[in-house]
Amino acid sequence: MRNRTENQIILALIRHGETPSNALGRYLGQTEEDLSDTGKEKLLQNRQSGKYPQADVVFSSPMGRCLQTAELLYGCTNPIVVEEWREMDFGRFEGKNYRELSGNAEYQAWIDSSGKLPFPGGESRQDFLARCRRGLGQAVGELGKAESLPASAAAVVHGGTVMALLSTFCGGDYFDYQCKNGEGCLCRLSFSGADCFSLEWIRKL
């Protein structure tokens, strides 16, 4: 790792393209599901319109829908995989949408808590926020290994990952940072080591 004080790069946080479950409003957490044809087409349209910024380095969640998105957007078949950026574990809500959960006492209790209760049989928001923060530290560690600091990077992740990172570092409520498939934001990542870093919002993509 190079000796340095503080470094800054531009980081694009991008939610993966649409899957069949996304289109139906289902909770899709740690279940693997490929992008739909519609999702792929929309990503390609966005790319052709210049929506996504250049990236010298591409990071990705280990899940297939993110890896597929990274390849479609950046031609990247071997991104740096950050295991901690796997989507949230939705527990017993996995694969269901709000209509199917209507009348479910566990679901109503979760709604009444403004999403602050742990998912039944799944992950708590607190644990998820901590996990995503660790993932950013891992990404910073990878950047620090480079002989020269890249000017830009992209992280192809999940909607939950985007919400977790932005609410942790930029303030506001977790749900303030919801974004649609293929959407995201541009941030400034400042760091002086894998345990000392910050993220600053710049704009939506």
DSSP of 176-197: GG---TT-EEEEEEEEEETTEE
Largest CA distance in the chain: 57
Q: Say if CB 72 and CB 43 are below 8 A apart.
A: yes
Per-residue burial over 175-199, b if 16 or more Cβ lie within 10 Å, else e, is eebebebbbbbbbebebeebeebbb
Q: Helix 64-74 crosses helix 37-48 at what angle (to 10 degrees)?
A: 30
List residues bridging with 201 in a β-sheet. Answer: 187
- Does the pLDDT value for residue 159 go beyond 80? yes
Mean pLDDT, residues 123-140: 98
- Does the pLDDT value for residue 6 go beyond 90? no
Comparing 2-11, 30-39, 79-88, 157-166, which segment has the lowest mean pLDDT?
2-11
- Does the pLDDT value for residue 3 go beyond 60? no
- Does the pLDDT value for residue 49 go beyond 90? yes
CA angle 181–182–188, rounded 5-degree value: 115
Q: What is the pTM of this model?
A: 0.95
pLDDT of residue 1: 44
Alpha-carbon gap, residue 90 to 30, rounded angstroms: 8
Given pLDDT bands bounded at 50, 70 and 90, which one contains residue 198?
A: very high
Share of the chain above pLDDT 90, in %: 93
pLDDT of residue 5: 62
Structure tokens, 70 = 């990274």
Q: Alpha carbon 93 to chain centroid distance? A: 20
- Does the pLDDT value for residue 2 go beyond 70? no
Alpha-carbon gap, residue 138 to 100, rounded angstroms: 37
Alpha-carbon gap, residue 140 to 2, rounded angstroms: 13
Look at residues 127, 137, 182, 138 and name the one whose alpha carbon lies nearest to residue 159. 182
Name the residue with higher pLDDT: 65 or 145. Answer: 65
Mean pLDDT, residues 98-110: 97
Domains and CATH numbers, the chain: 7-204 (3.40.50.1240)
Q: Helix 159-170 crosses helix 125-144 at what angle (to 10 degrees)?
A: 80
CA angle 25–76–17, rounded 5-degree value: 10
Structure tokens, 170 = 């930029």
Average pLDDT over the chain reads 96
What is the number of helices (H) and of strands (E) in the chain? 7, 6
Mean pLDDT, residues 137-144: 95
Which residue type, as a one-letter code, is found at position 75?
Answer: G
Mean pLDDT, residues 86-103: 97
